[in-house]
Amino acid sequence: FCRVDPYGFERPEDFDYASYEAFFSRYLVVLTRRAIKWSKLLKGNNSIQKSLKVKRYIRKGIPNEHRALVWMIVSGAQTNMEQNPGYYQRLLEGEKNAKLLEAIKTDNVKFRKTADPCLQHTLYNVLVAYGHHNKAVGYCQGMNFIAGYLILITKNEEESFWLLDALIGRILP
């Protein structure tokens, strides 16, 4: 196993790789079974109907390969993005607030200039756009961790922005 986890965070010096490997080798069977169920549920669709079954599946965990799509749909971010075409790009192209730009910080291996691929600019864009979109919140400490995780999952800058908006604007308040 690598010193850096799949999400770009460095493991501590005393990380127990042997125990982790033993656990993960057993847990992989559960994850595989779960991924098969999700694939059958989605069947190539980009929609999910609310049901007790979907709720149960979500509570057990959404496999990485379906997580971005499910989050986008369930959070309402997909609908917002579709109803506001070009909005994200206009935020990035608009006038910038200097204090907001100065406040934004990133600290994750995958978002360093030396990373390959370097996602630093992507994270910066999402945070700048959100800060201009929601001026009442702007940028708050820790937002970079949330936005960074969304970028790693969605692998899409605009979707990450809309998910951040769903979380901060509707789900978490």
Q: Average per-residue pLDDT in the chain?
A: 90
Q: What are 135-138's contacts with CB under 8 Å, separation 24+?
A: 137/168, 138/97, 138/100, 138/103
CATH fold, domain 17-171, is: Helicase, Ruva Protein; domain 3 (1.10.8)
pLDDT for residue 8 is more than 70: yes
- Render pLDDT for 148-171 as a digit per residue (tens, 0 to 9): 999 999 999 999 999 999 999 999
Give the global pTM.
Answer: 0.75
Question: What burial class does residue 4 get, using C-beta atoms within 10 Å of its C-beta: 0-12 exposed, 13-18 middle, 19+ buried?
Answer: middle
Q: How confident is the model at residue 1 (pLDDT cuts 50, 70, 90)?
A: low
Q: How confident is the model at residue 38 (pLDDT cuts 50, 70, 90)?
A: very high
Q: Where are the domains of the chain?
A: 17-171
Helices (H), 11-170: 17-42, 52-60, 64-75, 77-83, 87-93, 98-103, 120-133, 143-154, 157-165
- Render pLDDT for 43-75 as a digit per residue (tens, 0 to 9): 877 788 889 999 999 999 999 889 999 999 999
Residues 143 and 127 sit within 8 Å (Cβ to Cβ) = yes
CA distance 88 to 59: 30
